[in-house]
Structure 1
């Protein structure tokens, strides 16, 4: 259940009637292609020691859910992740990144963000934010399975948004 105070926002989704703009997909738009969208969060619970973000296509055909991005050990002092934090030209560093942030391997077996493919129109891409009472010990290869196992019993709050794929 989502905690009352914790809120997750993706400003471009809000500006495009609840849909993920094309620049965040593999196909892209203009000069922007396959970059992670900006995320903002509010109301992080007291006692939070780290945050994690998991982004999945909950309507994928091959494997449900299909993981597009996993980020762990985000400092609770951070107020979000900027556009292009990961993906084409972004950080995309699996394992330990700057400030302890760890990006995981997506279901394409690549580190960092990988946007939805053009033929996934109509699929819902779920963005989940977890506020945790601990810093996760994940080792060098971070996966969504490792993150989900590690957060068990440590979730202080959750928030989610689930836009359609392409605006």
Structure 2
């Protein structure tokens, strides 16, 4: 036997289930990287003992949260032996009408990033994408490529730290989607 509160709860659940369809899920995809899969040497850094292509992966997204005014891509290695991880890429203030980035958009010299976006200095010390380069023999590292839908474009100081950018992105994030790819140097 149901109490009145349980009957009302069931009625609310039924109305939600039968009501308008929910918005499309906010999803990040790539033709170059995949969740739980090892990245190609194209995404390996060139320098610091690494000899990869230093090519940022192609990325696409769909299901933009309501109220989105801009996007940000953050690429981070939480397994770097630094005590604070490693920022590989922070591209912010991507215009709201953009839904994909071509491979190589993380290279400021190629001018493939959308107009109005801002490439922040990575932990290698240069703006744009800095590929995977875990210490040799350190095991498998995770590389989290996270797209954030932002409630506003970010007003940042000149040469902001990766930590400040990460804080500002998360403070204004309406939603996020992550591809966690892997890389190892034996």
Whether TM exceeds 0.5 here: the answer is yes
The equivalent residue for 2:94 is 74
Which of 176, 180, 183 in structure 2 is aligned with 1:158? 176
The equivalent residue for 2:120 is 104
In structure 2, relative to structure 1, the CA distance for the partners of 1:151 and 1:17 (3 Å cut) is closer
Higher RCO, 1 vs 2 (CA within 8 Å, ≥6 residues apart):
1
| Cα contact 2:77–2:142 (8 A) shared by 1 | yes
TM-score w.r.t. length of structure 2: 0.73
Which of 27, 40, 51 in structure 1 is aligned with 2:71? 51
In structure 2, relative to structure 1, the CA distance for the partners of 1:122 and 1:108 (3 Å cut) is same
TM-score w.r.t. length of structure 1: 0.81
Count of matched residue pairs? 156
| Cα contact 1:48–1:134 (8 A) shared by 2 | yes
> Which runs of 5 or more residues in structure 2 are unaligned?
1-22, 46-50
Equivalents in 1 of 2:155, 2:36: separation in Å? 38
Cα deviation, 1:124-152, whole Å, max 9, x if unaligned, reads: 11111110111100133243222223234
Equivalents in 2 of 1:63, 1:88: separation in Å? 28
Matches within 5 A, 1:65-144: 65-87=85-107, 89-91=109-111, 99-117=115-133, 119=136, 122-144=140-162
Q: Which runs of 4 or more aligned residues in structure 1 lie more than 4 Å from their structure 2 counterparts after TM superposition? A: none
Deviation at 1:161, TM superposition (A): 1.1
Equivalents in 2 of 1:45, 1:18: separation in Å? 27
> Which runs of 5 or more residues in structure 1 are unaligned?
none
